[in-house]
Every structure is written in C-alpha cells, then in structure tokens.
Amino acid sequence: MPIDMAVVPVAGRGTRLLPLTKSQPKEMLPVGRKPVVQYVVEELARCGLGRLLFVTGPGKTAIENHFDIDAELITNLRETGREELLQELAFEREDLEYFYTRQRRQLGLGHAVLCAKPVVGRDPFVVALGDSIIGLHAQSNVVRLMVEQFESNGADVVIAFENVPREEVVQYGIAKPRKQGEVFELDDLVEKPDVAEAPSTLAVAARYVFSPVVFDYLQRTPPGKGGEIQLTDAIRMMIRDGRKALGVRLPEGEQRFDIGNFESYFQAFVEFALADPDYGPALRTCLVDWLSSHEPKQAEKTRWS
Ligand code: G1P
C-alpha cells in the first residue's frame, strides 16, 4: 500500500519567537500570503499524501480552524459579490483527510511523534515538521523522492538533509554519512552537536519517512538534549541496531525555510514576498530604493524594557 499518512507535529510553544507566539501558533505565522502550515500541507498534498495527522498542543486551535470549511465566510463572499476571493479558500476543499491528536505534555519532538502511534498503527508514514517550508512556495518534491528511496531500498527511515554553515550545526540534527552523495546511508545522527563535534554540516531538514518500528524505539528513548525525548536519539538507536537509515539531500535549488527563529523567519518572509507575482516586483523596487538611500547602521533597540 502506498504511504498515505503524514504526521505534522505542531505542539511546540515557539519560545524562540516570543512575543509573536504568545497567543498564536508559530505554524500560523504569515510567510507572504499564507500561514506556514498551509505551505506544509500543500507540499504534502503535491507529494501524494492524503491523510494528515496534526499533533497539537495548547493554543493551537487556529490550525484546526484554518483547515476547516468555513461555510459562513463562503456565503458572505457570495452574497456580497466577492466571488473572486473564493479561490483564496480553494485549499479548504483539497481532497485531504485531517486528524488531530494532542501532545498533553511537552516532552519533546520524539514524544510528539509517539503520540501519533494510535492513529498511524503499523503502516509506514511521513513526518513533516509544521514550522518548516521546503522550497520556495513549497514547490518541493523531496518527500516523494524520499518515499521512493524508502520503498526501493527497504529502509526503516529516510531523512531529508540540507547543508548548513558550520556555526548553525548547533540548531539541528546532524548526519554522519557513510559516503558522500545525493542519497547516502547514515552511520550516525547527532542532535544539536557543538561545532567542534559535528560529524558533518548536513542538517536534518524537517522531513522524515519512517517504518512503524520507530514507535518501538521511541518508547524506549530516554530524555536527551534539553531533557526532551528526541526523535534523533530514537533514529540513532535504530542505526545502532543495524536498521537501514538513508539521507536524501534537498535537490539543487531547494532550501528549507525554518520558521522557528527570527533570523530565518524574516528572511523567509522577504523572499516569499519578493516572489509574489502581484506584489513582488513593486516590493523589490521599494526595497532597492530604500536600501540605496539608507546607510547601514546599528539597529536601534525599541523594546519596552
Ligand atoms: C528539530 C529536530 C532536529 C531538526 C530540526 C529541524 O529540532 O530535533 O533534529 O534538525 O527540528 O528539522 P527543533 O527545531 O524542534 O529544535
């Protein structure tokens, strides 16, 4: 049976984005015209995934509302002669099934994935982190490529990787590949290593394909980095048990937009806005003018404290 289920963990509190995320989920932050998680769903749908299970937490109901059909809004747009706006809601009618479960304690990404077990059962599945967009406007096929590798190699886990600057390895799961290449076997995986100890600069890029055996490992994974049950540590145990773990590099021209911190969130927003077919060209002109008339200077601190 083809892989049909994607688990989308969205339970994290987004503390690196405070105060923005105090009362709204980071997955609902706008990047250009859409909230982050809509790009994630569109990417998964393009890659053939039909059933999406969100692992949610406190303060995340806006995500459920976003993917619901809003009959009142549709009627209102029709009655007020604004039919042209209905196409902005076309994503509501995608042929997808949504499921929601809740991570009731904040015990880490590994634990969030384990919360999916009763719904996923014994079938292979995809994990797509809800705070990361892959490819400009989510036009990425990497999950499809990963599923193909998973199936043709009899793997137990396939992970997407992106090369990052060495100083950024501290933010990600980092691969120790067995060989170089677009697709490679993993010798090890280390969660957020120090720069000096990183086995490479290949960082986990928020997409995974798993055999359900991962649940057995997650159940036995003790708290790791930050006291959390780390998905990376469960994968590490799988590798040490001789299970087949593959890495797939993001294809040329594709990158991960990480919406988990301000630096990459700001960059993502600007890049998506510049690529907007209607508003991008004017924004570009405006930015170029602004940049040429403003000397770079130390950003002023305008905080309340
Ligand atoms: C998680 C994973 C990490 C991965 C990252 C981005 O970290 O634990 O291995 O590289 O997502 O895909 P987080 O950003 O939740 O701290």
Does 118 score more than 90 pLDDT?
A: yes
Ligand 1 atom nearest 230 alpha carbon:
8
In 71-221, the DSSP E strands lie at 97-102, 125-128, 132-134, 157-163, 173-177, 183-191, 202-210
Using the mean position of ligand 1's atoms as its centre, give its distance from the Cα of residue 260 in Å: 9
Residue of minimum CA distance from atom 1 in ligand 1: 172
What are the backbone dihedrals phi and psi of residue 175, each rounded to the nearest 5 degrees, phi first?
A: -85, 145
Summarize pLDDT for 73-98 with one digit per residue, the tens. 888 888 888 888 888 888 878 889 99
The residue type found at 200 is S
* 192 in Cβ contact with 184 (< 8 Å): no
Summarize pLDDT for 145-176 with one digit per residue, the tens. 999 999 999 999 999 999 999 999 999 999 99
Structural domains of the chain ordered from first start: 5-260 (3.90.550.10)
| 3-state SS assignment for residue 265 | helix
pTM of the model: 0.93
For residue 115, give both structure tokens. Answer: 């919360």
- Between residues 236 and 92, the one the model is more confident about: 236
| 3-state SS assignment for residue 30 | strand
Summarize pLDDT for 178-235 with one digit per residue, the tens. 988 899 999 999 999 999 999 999 999 999 999 999 999 999 999 999 999 999 999 9
How far is it, in rounded angstroms, from Cα 60 to Cα 77? Answer: 26
Q: Quote the percentage of the chain above a pLDDT of 70.
A: 96
Residue of minimum CA distance from atom 5 in ligand 1: 172
Confidence (pLDDT) at 303: 57
How far is it, in rounded angstroms, from Cα 182 to Cα 211? Answer: 21
Q: Quote the percentage of the chain above a pLDDT of 90.
A: 80
Ligand 1: does its nearest atom lie under 6 Å from the Cβ of 206? yes
Ligand 1: does its nearest atom lie under 6 Å from the Cβ of 204? yes
Rg (CA), the chain: 20
* 14 in Cβ contact with 60 (< 8 Å): no
* 52 in Cβ contact with 58 (< 8 Å): no
Among 7, 107, 109, 114, residue to substitute to test ligand 1 (most atoms within 8 Å of Cβ): 109
Q: Average per-residue pLDDT in the chain? A: 93
